Amino acid sequence: MTQPAEFVVFGEALTDFIRQSDGQWRAMPGGACWNVARAASRLGVPTGYAGSVSADVFGQELHALTREAGLDMRFTQQYAKAPLLAMVTSTTPPDYFFIGDDSADLHFDPERLPAGWMDQVRVLHFGCISLTREPLASRLLQVAKAGAMRNKKIAFDPNWRKLMDNPSYRILLRELLALSDYVKVSDEDLERLFPGDGNALGTLQGMAPKAEILLTLGAQGMRWIKGEQAIEQPAYKVEVIDTVGCGDASMGGWIASQLRQPDAPAQTHLQCAAAGAAIAASKAGAYAATWDEVQAMIGRG
């Protein structure tokens, strides 16, 4: 029997089409929320990915990789709708757009989740473009509110994308931050979420008053913040292959550590987040590390 999921990740899974230097396109399965779910599962936490994928070749690949990652398949839905695609025309600087009118992700139905699923769950995660796409965004906000009402921890990674530059997302952002217990945000996210704000971090803290914040700083490491408390964590040194999925790996590592060793200090969870990100950077694509790999990285220092 499947062990009840302690961590459930809501949001998009998609296929990235990345334009290569020779003009060809490379298709890669991905999606920030899907990456977070895979990261946590690989770290040994019973995890469900709660999202919808298409029934075509792109969705079938995502579905198969979801199963391969050890995720609880009862949370993943499939619909005979178009796939959600991200067309990445440039990686340096980043330039992209999304294709997905009436695509499968928008048809995710919380009413189809396993009976009693919230009884065992400890953390619910939300993030990225799923929160900009209606009617999905409103459904997910309602799930978050229901979870918070039942004293479940809410994790949130805004993971800024161009679609978020609109008034309706700003309203949802405030509502979800107010519910959040864990917020992961990069320095680049802060600049884009609060443009022109000389105290963007303070603004974020004001909107998420009860949250622990994981601020990622790229090669400069990361910082844990709660109220007036702050802990610095340098980046682990690795040979960087690419940074695809590093933020998602850090989020997955941070939450997995909270669930696997709840009595550990914040510094320990921070180390797991940093190690997960470093291992992902040392591999091609959105690599999800195992618990043993993360602990070995921490042990090396």
**pLDDT higher than 90, residue 245:** no
Residue 92: its pLDDT value, please?
Answer: 73
Flag the least confident range among 54-58, 96-100, 152-156.
96-100
User: Which parts of the chain are beta strand (E)?
Assistant: 7-10, 14-19, 25-30, 47-54, 76-79, 85-91, 94-99, 123-127, 153-157, 182-186, 212-216, 222-226, 229-233
Phi/psi at 291 (nearest 5 deg)? Answer: -60, -40
Q: What type of residue is 248?
A: D
pLDDT given at position 1: 41
Adjacent-strand bridge partners of 52: 77
More confident residue, 171 or 288: 171
User: 287 or 192, which is more confident?
Assistant: 192
Calculate mean pLDDT across residues 166-172.
94
pLDDT at 85 over 70: yes
Residue 102 confidence (pLDDT) = 95
pLDDT of residue 239: 81
Cα separation, 92 vs 142, in Å, equals: 37
Which whole number is the average pLDDT over 106-134?
96
Query: What would be the CATH architecture of the domain defined by 7-234?
Result: 3-Layer(aba) Sandwich (3.40)
Determine the pLDDT at residue 2.
65
Strand partners, 155: 125, 182
Give the mean pLDDT of 224-252.
89
Give the pTM. Answer: 0.94
- Would you tell me how many other CB atoms lie within 10 Å of the CB of residue 217? 15
CA distances from 124 to 100, 116, 117, 127 (A): 25, 14, 11, 11
